[in-house]
Amino acid sequence: MTPDTHHQRHVAVLGAGAWGTSLAIAASLRAPTVLWARDAALIAQCQSTHQNSRYLPGIDLPASLGFTSDFFAAIEHASQGDKPGLLILGVPLAGLRQTCVTLASALGQLKRPLAGIVWTCKGLEADSGLLPSEIVSQALASCPELAVGVLSGPSFALEVAQGLPVALTIASENETLRQATIAALHGGNVRVYASQDVIGVEVGGALKNVIAIACGIGDGLGLGTNARAALITRGLAEMSRFGEALGAQTATFSGLTGLGDLVLSATGDLSRNRQVGLAIGQGKTLEQVLSLGLTAEGARCAQAVHKRALALGIDLPITRAVCEVLFEHVPPQIAVSQLLSRDAKTE
C-alpha cells in the first residue's frame, strides 16, 4: 500500500533510531512521511540503500519514505498538507528537551500550523525527575497553542518494522491531535487507541522498564515463573500507586500502556531492560553489563522514580530493590530476600 499523493496530512518523524524508523515506515504507508536525523551520514545511507542498517539491519524501507538531515525541512514538510500535519518525536528521553527547544524556534517560521506533536520516549529525566510531558511543557512554554501528546504501548521496534501486528495508545487532551495521530498510523497491522490520560500513559512507560529489570534479575537467579508473575503483579501495583499520586487515572494501568507494556517488557526476549536484569541476576555488575553494549532505560529511570516516590511519600519496594542492586552493590539474592521478608499485607 502506498500513500495517496493528495493525502491531506503530512507526517515528519524526528529521530531515526529503531523506533523512530519503525514509526516512519508505518506512517509512510498512509501519508507523505519524512524521517529526520541529525546524523547526515545515517540519512545518506538510508537514502542510498533504503535500509537503516545501524538500527534496523535487514529491514527494507518503503520507497515512499523521504529522508532529511535538515531539521527545518522536516518540520516544514509536516506543514505542507491540506490538513495540519503531525510531528512524531522519536528521539530518546535524553534528547527530548533540546529537540523541543530547537522546535520552539522553528515553529514560528512555519506558514501553516501543525496538528501538534507526539513523543514516544519513556522514563523520567535523570536530573529533574520530570516526566516527558513536564519536560515538553517547560521547553515549549513559548508555544502554548501547540497541541501535544504521547504515543506509547507494548511495541518492539523490530516487530513493527517487520509489519507484525501492534496496538498503541495516543494520549492527549486535544481531540484533534488524537484523531490526527490515528489517521497517520492506524490501519493494516497497526491499531491506535485514544486516551486523555497523558500522565498515566507516561508513568506506565517509565515503571514497566524498572519492573522488567526486576523480572530479568529474578529469571537470572532462577526463581521461576511463579516469582515472575508475582513481580509483574506487584510491579503493576507500584505503577498504579505512583501514577495515582501524580494524578493519573487508575483504569489506564490495566490497559495497553500499563499492563500490556509491562508484560511485554518483563517477558519478551527483545526487551533490553529484561536482558540487563538477566545479566545482573547471573552475576554481572551494571558496569559490566553496560560495557557489553546493553542499554536499558529502566536503569536510569529507577533512580529518578525512587527519588520522586520518596518526595511523594510513596512506598515502591520493587523499585527500591532494583536501585539497591544496580547502584548500591546489594547482591540480588539479598535484595530478593528483603522483598520476601516484608510483612504480609492485604492486596
Q: What string of DSSP letters covers 286-317?
A: HHHHHHTT---HHHHHHHHHHHHHHHHT---H
What are the Cα distances from residue 225, in Å, to 165, 260, 267, 273, 332?
26, 18, 10, 18, 17
Ranges of H-type helices in 222-271: 225-245, 261-267
Alpha carbons 210 and 215: distance in angstroms, whole number: 9
In terms of Cα–Cα distance, which of 308, 169, 189 is closest to 251?
169
In terms of Cα–Cα distance, which of 316, 319, 329 is closest to 299?
319
Bridge partners for 152 per DSSP: 169
Alpha carbons 259 and 55: distance in angstroms, whole number: 27
Chain centre distance of CA 338: 31
Considering 83, 111, 122, 208, which one is annotated as catalytic?
208
Alpha carbons 115 and 28: distance in angstroms, whole number: 17
The reply to whether 307 belongs to the active site is: no
What are the Cα distances from residue 266, in Å, to 186, 209, 212, 231?
26, 8, 4, 9
Alpha carbons 206 and 191: distance in angstroms, whole number: 22
Chain centre distance of CA 290: 20
| Active-site residue list | 208
